[in-house]
Amino acid sequence: MTRDLRTARTGAVLTFVLAGLMCGSMTVRVPALSDKLGLSEASIGLTLLVWGLGALVAMQSMRVVMTRFGSRSILRVAAPLTAVTLALLAAAPTFPLLLVASTLFGMAFGSVDVAMNAQGSAVERAYGRPLMSGMHAGWCVGAIAAGLLGTAAIAAGLPVTVHLTLIALVSLPVVVLLSRTYLPDPAAPASHDGRATATARRMPPVVYLLGVIAFCAFMVEGTVADWNGLYLRDVLGASEAVAALGYPIFEVGMLAGRLAGDRVRARFGARGMIAASGLATAVTFGVVITAPTTTVALSAMLFVGVAVSTVSPTALSLAGGATANPGPAVAQTGAMGYAGLLLGPVVIGFLADLATLRAGLAIAVVLSVAVAVIARFLPRARTVTTPARAAEPELSMAA
């Protein structure tokens, strides 16, 4: 194993850490942003909607952009922009400006999300074994740090504007330094007319099936990230500081599951692991939304994290192995996944207004069952593509 390859793996993991820190810092301060501008639950839902819409638009465009420029170039531009737009979001003085800043933050972050997963896939191929769950464990580390720092900031009375600006200022120089560690993407053949390759236009059917799984998993993850704080505070009566612990506790469970995920996948296979994860997520999230006390809900949140942790990274990894160039396939699966984040805040927010927040959150249970069912239609996968076999798809619908 060469030193450059180890450096690339470290750089990819740290990129996930920084992305988790920036995105997690925003999500744990949603209640504070709500209080700062006096927003209703529907307004919060709209803010999260435009964030998801910005991410979705950026991700869908990445199918073509990634083919031309590759994950390394995209990360070198989009990662610093994510830090800058986080600071803009923190400083927004009115609801309309918050919507604008949230959209820009979503676009920058959506580009980073696709590019860092494609970079992770490139590193995974170079190693020739599953690594993506471990990469996403880096995200959990960043999100846990975001939750703990958010709790500390709330306890210290630090204004949300100051808190998020400090996170942005720390993240910016680090992502610039990490840009030197990235690997080039596997080369894809260029078309004769200079346009995007056929790979960027047409995907194997399995990519779309994985996209549906990612849609369900991302919506469950986004439900916890965006709404657990308000659920714990407004439904179960927790203080804001205690409610902010729900997200880092969930991420601790995600971290534990993802650290073991690559070994579990190698031992039992991706299809069985995704199906079992879907069922376990449905059961544990059912406990959260029926919990009589904050203590029970917080405890169950840990196991929700363990259960759902490997679904989205495995889906993205399998998509990256389905074509010669992982970027466009990862972009398609990621875009379908982020459609879950796009619809989730709207559906849950309006259901909370029409009925109760518990009723809105019950959607996550239904989606988790859907993951388990859809996983049975996945073909059996071979091992992760090695450099010598980089042109061969990992999954075939004929398997």
Q: Which residue has the higher pLDDT, 20 or 248?
A: 20
Model confidence pLDDT, tens digit, residues 202-211:
778 889 999 9
**CA nearest to 233, candidates 181, 298, 170, 284:** 298
The two structure tokens encoding residue 296: 């029970």
pTM of the predicted model, to two decimals?
A: 0.79
Model confidence pLDDT, tens digit, residues 124-182:
888 888 889 999 999 888 988 888 898 899 888 889 899 999 999 999 999 999 988 99
- What is the C-alpha to C-alpha distance for residues 314 and 351, in angstroms, rounded to an integer? 31
Residues whose CB falls within 8 Å of the CB of residue 332, separated by 6 or more in sequence, listed in order: 63, 203, 207, 208, 211, 319
pLDDT for 389: 43
Give all domains of the chain, ordered by start, each with its CATH number: 1-177 (1.20.1250.20), 203-379 (1.20.1250.20)
**CA nearest to 285, candidates 216, 354, 214, 223:** 223
pLDDT for 216: 93
pLDDT for 365: 92
Q: Position of tokens 């075939």?
A: 396
Percent of the chain past pLDDT 90, that is, above it, reads: 36
CB burial of residue 380 (10 Å; 0-12, 13-18, 19+): exposed
Longest dimension (CA), the chain: 63
Question: Which whole number is the average pLDDT over 351-368?
Answer: 86
Q: Are the beta carbons of 247 and 305 closer than 8 angstroms?
A: no
